[in-house]
Every structure is written in structure tokens, then in C-alpha cells.
């Protein structure tokens, strides 16, 4: 071997260990791949959970949109229902009983129109709130005045000034009511019993 060959051999010998020391070990590669795998799995699970939450939220929003889509229209129709009721209430009871056939037919036609309107609103989830004698609920009723009454539990609805309506679980329009004042405090047992 010539001195030149010795130099080349020594360079080759030293370059091989350098290549081995620069290359990561199998354990380090496996550890890195496992960490990357765990990270990707975590991201995948989070994405799947987000997608499931979005699907549920979208289903809930679609159901709400279907149930409450007629809210504005129904609110406008309540004015019509109120006017029909006012027209019927304006006819005195003795006039109704002693009315001539044409007038009696007109009253019956208006009553039929009111019933039909309420049935139609009911098909779209609009229901009439009838709080007469019930415990005052600020979520469903709007107190307009207090009525002093020692014999009825405090906070009982004694008079309904304007009928309220709800659509599904939401209040479309609260009932305007007169509430008792001065009676005994309503307890759980008293509030479930009808007022005398």
C-alpha cells in the first residue's frame, strides 16, 4: 500500500463512523413516529368530535327553524285573533240570546272564524295561554295591576286583560293579567290547587 492509499483508507474508515453517528437510531425513529402517530390520532379524534357536535347543533338549529319559522307571521295574526275576540265581546249577552236570525248568524260566523283561526294557529304550534286562577309566572305573564283580595293566595292571576300565546316552548306574547295582592303566601300545595 502506498502512502496515498493509506490516506484514502483512513478517510474512508473515519467517514463510516461519522455517517452512523449522524443517522438516528431505530429507537429514536420509532419514538418519533409513535409521537407523530399519537398527535395525528389526537387531532383526528378532536376533528371527529367537532364534526359530531356541529352535526348535532345543525340538527337542533334546523328543528328550531322548523318550529319557530312562523313566529313573525303568528305574532301578526294574534292582532286578528284579538280583534275577533273584541268584536264578540262587544255584543252584550242579552243581545246574543234575543238576536234575530241574521244577527245571530253573523255572531255564529265570527265565532266560527275565531275557532278556525285558533285551530290553524295550533297546527303550527301556537297555543293560547289561559292563566286564569293560576300562579303568576313572570316568564309567561305580564302583571298590569294588583287586585286586593284577602281570600286568594298572593300572586294568583285573577283577571286576564289580554290573552297570551306561546309557540312551542317560547312565549310569543305574554298574557297581560291582574294579580291578587294581600292574601296568604302561595305554597307549593296552594299553588297547585285551583283558587276559590
- H helices within 69-149, ranges in order? 71-89, 93-97, 101-123
pLDDT tens digits for range 124-157: 889 998 898 889 999 999 999 998 888 888 889 9
Q: Which residues, 6+ apart, have CB-to-CB distance to 176 below 8 Å?
A: 141, 142, 144, 160, 161, 162, 164
Q: Write down the pLDDT at residue 2.
A: 56
Mean pLDDT of 48-61: 94
What mean pLDDT comes out for the span 119-124?
A: 90
> Is pLDDT at 59 greater than 90 in this prediction?
yes
Q: What is the mean pLDDT of the chain?
A: 83
Sheet of 170-173: strands edge to edge?
126-129, 164-167, 170-173
Output the pLDDT for position 196: 35
pLDDT-derived band at 67 (thresholds 50, 70, 90) equals: confident
Q: What are the cell numbers at 27?
A: 429507537
Check whether 190 has a pLDDT greater than 80.
no
Mean pLDDT computed over 85-96: 88
CATH number of 127-196: 2.30.22.10
The C-alpha atoms of residue 15 and residue 23 are separated, in whole angstroms, by: 13
Amino acid at each position: 500500500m502506498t502512502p496515498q492509499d493509506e490516506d484514502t483508507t483512513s478517510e474512508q474508515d473515519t467517514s463510516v463512523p461519522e455517517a452512523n453517528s449522524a443517522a438516528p437510531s431505530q429507537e429514536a425513529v420509532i419514538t418519533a413516529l409513535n409521537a407523530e402517530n399519537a398527535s395525528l390520532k389526537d387531532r383526528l379524534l378532536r376533528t371527529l368530535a367537532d364534526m359530531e357536535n356541529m352535526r348535532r347543533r345543525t340538527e337542533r338549529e334546523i328543528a328550531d327553524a322548523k318550529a319557530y319559522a312562523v313566529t313573525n307571521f303568528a305574532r301578526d295574526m294574534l292582532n286578528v285573533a284579538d280583534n275577533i275576540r273584541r268584536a264578540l265581546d262587544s255584543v252584550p249577552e242579552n243581545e246574543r240570546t234575543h238576536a234575530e236570525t241574521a244577527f245571530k248568524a253573523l255572531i255564529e260566523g265570527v265565532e266560527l272564524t275565531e275557532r278556525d283561526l285558533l285551530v290553524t294557529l295550533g297546527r303550527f304550534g301556537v297555543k293560547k295561554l289561559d292563566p286564569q286562577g293560576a300562579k303568576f309566572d313572570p316568564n309567561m305573564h305580564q302583571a298590569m295591576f294588583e287586585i286586593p283580595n284577602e281570600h286568594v293566595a298572593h300572586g294568583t292571576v285573577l283577571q286576564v286583560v289580554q290573552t297570551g300565546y306561546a309557540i312551542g316552548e317560547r312565549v310569543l306574547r305574554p298574557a297581560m293579567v291582574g294579580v291578587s295582592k294581600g292574601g296568604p303566601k302561595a305554597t307549593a300545595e296552594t299553588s297547585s290547587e285551583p283558587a276559590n
